[in-house]
Chains A and B, each alone.
Chain A
Amino acid sequence: MGEYLSANRSGDFMALLQARGLWRKPEAVPLGQSQPAVQEAHGTTVIALKYREGVLNVGDRRATSANAIMYDRAEKILPLDDYTLIAIAGSYARAMEIVRYLQHSFKYYARTQLQEMSLEGKLAEVSRALAGNLSMALQGIGLFIPVVSAYDLERGEGRIFFYDGMGARFESVEFGAAGSGSERIRGVFDYILKTKGPFHEMTLEEALRECLLLLDIAADLDSATAGIEKVLPIARAVTAEGILDIPEEQLAQMKESLRR
């Protein structure tokens, strides 16, 4: 009787999409071919910092295409589910498609299997999506790098994971960052750690202040990063209570206080 409806029992969303012919696997093109003429939009700088209650994510809003600024209200920090945030830098189009895939994949698993996917399972799913994207990335398009922040309910703490383009996953102790601006400010993270102490002991307010400053410095050093002046960045945190959207007023106030 099942054949009249469906028979996917695994909770694997990719298997469902493949069975229905809905998974668009990027085509492999032999290396050495000329670069494709596609100009894609790129997200620039995203930062994840631990703080007392979880993990704070801040991202500037700029999307660039080659040396042109394409958009200054791009959203690069997105909830994957109630306890997981993904911050994306790099190819905007590919990142958005994979974020949409991941959101559906986690929910699909939870709904069909009647239990949440484990954090480990979610992280592996991100790896798998990145590895599936590899052939495109090798062609020079569609490469994006995510930073995944999760609140680990079992351990009762926020955790940060960053990836390389092939899907390798690393866990960070204090912070994570991705995008062109992040490369310029890598040392600043360590400077803060050594002079002000660990991020995970900071209050939300203190962590937010550091994030905005870091973004401001990134914008000074990286032409593709918008920083905080023209358009306020996006800030979201993940805590034991779920996702917390930092309101614009709070960001605006913090920005003002940094001027003094």
Chain B
Amino acid sequence: MVYTPYDFNESVRHRTEYIEERLRDGSPVAGISYEGGVLLLTLRRTQRKIFEIYDRLMFAGLGNQSDLEIIRVGAIDFAHQEGYARSPDDVTIQRVVGFAISPGIKRAFGDVLNAPFVVRALFAEMGKTPEEDLFYTLNYDGEFVPLSWAAAVAGTPEAEEQMIRQLVPEDAEGAPDLQTALRRALRAWTVGRLWAMDAHLEEEGAESLSEERIESFLREQLQDLQVEAAILDRFTKRERKFRLLKEDEILPALP
């Protein structure tokens, strides 16, 4: 693989291929709004994956751990200096992702002399009501997409689409309760993971994802991986709205 730094298109293509290939195996992250707050869910081996950024902001992602760490600390730094210099109300997901993080990632991606970020990240902001909750997905090239109600990042863009379908089913009305949200997020994670790992699924179509197949795949994954879920709690009186869910809170949602 030889390319000159002068051939921009070529180098971007190579970098994209390299990153996409490495991201494909990553554990997806599902985000969903529920009545009492915002939920992020993923499955992991040992490393923690979901993090608090600011009072009403949290973050998770897949890809290179140290790249995620740089984004995490960068977002925390920006949020805190803004919150202190102005007010916590001025710290918004749109400013953190759009102005503080995305341009740096884009620069790293375009800089052929440097390694690019290998990440797909998901930011969540809790509003006063589920309607006001916001999600941003952020890609390795700096592109970001704002979303309401639910969002997902996974190994491939197609897998993300499939996850969204699970998170916001067609017959869904309003914001779910926490248990329903957990179930949907877990299912979305499973579908996203299957879709990214199994190249045949795209040809077979979503219909081939039977209940049994999803459930047995999840059981299989749960042997190596554990569920990590965190919420921003809309109604807590505590200073910290962020909380990792405990095992007994997650257990009822497992198969």
- Residues 81-99 (chain B) with a chain A CB within 8 angstroms: 81, 83-85
- A246 shortest CB reach to chain B, Å: 13
- A218 shortest CB reach to chain B, Å: 29
Interface status of B206 (Cβ within 8 A of chain A): no
In the complex with contacts A100-B84, A104-B84, A111-B238 CB distance below 8 A: no
Q: Kindly list the 8 A-B residue pairs having the minimum CB-CB distance in the complex, ordered from nearest.
A: A5-B74, A4-B104, A6-B74, A6-B77, A104-B84, A5-B104, A108-B80, A4-B108
Q: A residues within 8 A CB of B224?
A: none
| A22–B84 touching, CB < 8 Å | yes
| A8–B73 touching, CB < 8 Å | yes
Interface status of B117 (Cβ within 8 A of chain A): yes
Q: A residues within 8 A CB of B22?
A: none
Interface status of A168 (Cβ within 8 A of chain B): no
| B115–A1 touching, CB < 8 Å | yes
- Which of A13-21, A133-141, A146-154, A181-189 is the interface stretch? A13-21
Query: How many chain-B residues does the 8 Å CB contact rule pick out?
Result: 32
In the complex with contacts A17-B81, A20-B81, A111-B53, A82-B76 CB distance below 8 A: no
| B107–A81 touching, CB < 8 Å | no
- Residues 69-125 (chain A) with a chain B CB within 8 angstroms: 79, 81-82, 100-101, 103-104, 107-108, 110-112, 114
Contact of B77 among A4, A8, A103 (CB under 8 A): A8
Query: How many chain-A residues does the 8 Å CB contact rule pick out?
Result: 28
| A82–B81 touching, CB < 8 Å | no
- Residues 236-256 (chain A) with a chain B CB within 8 angstroms: 242-243, 245
Name 23 interchain pairs, CB-CB below 8 A, sorted by A.
Answer: A1-B67, A1-B115, A2-B70, A4-B105, A4-B107, A5-B73, A5-B100, A6-B78, A8-B73, A13-B80, A16-B77, A16-B81, A17-B84, A79-B239, A81-B239, A107-B55, A107-B239, A108-B80, A110-B240, A111-B76, A114-B51, A242-B238, A243-B239
Interface status of A259 (Cβ within 8 A of chain B): no
- A198 shortest CB reach to chain B, Å: 30
| B80–A104 touching, CB < 8 Å | yes
In the complex with contacts A1-B117, A5-B104, A111-B51, A22-B85 CB distance below 8 A: yes
| A1–B114 touching, CB < 8 Å | yes
Cα–Cα, bound, A4→B55 (Å): 24
Cα–Cα, bound, A101→B48 (Å): 28
| A114–B48 touching, CB < 8 Å | yes
Q: A residues within 8 A CB of B101?
A: 5
The interface centre, meaning the residue of B77, B101, B237 with most chain A CB atoms within 10 A of its CB, is B77
Cα–Cα, bound, A114→B84 (Å): 20
Interface status of B233 (Cβ within 8 A of chain A): no
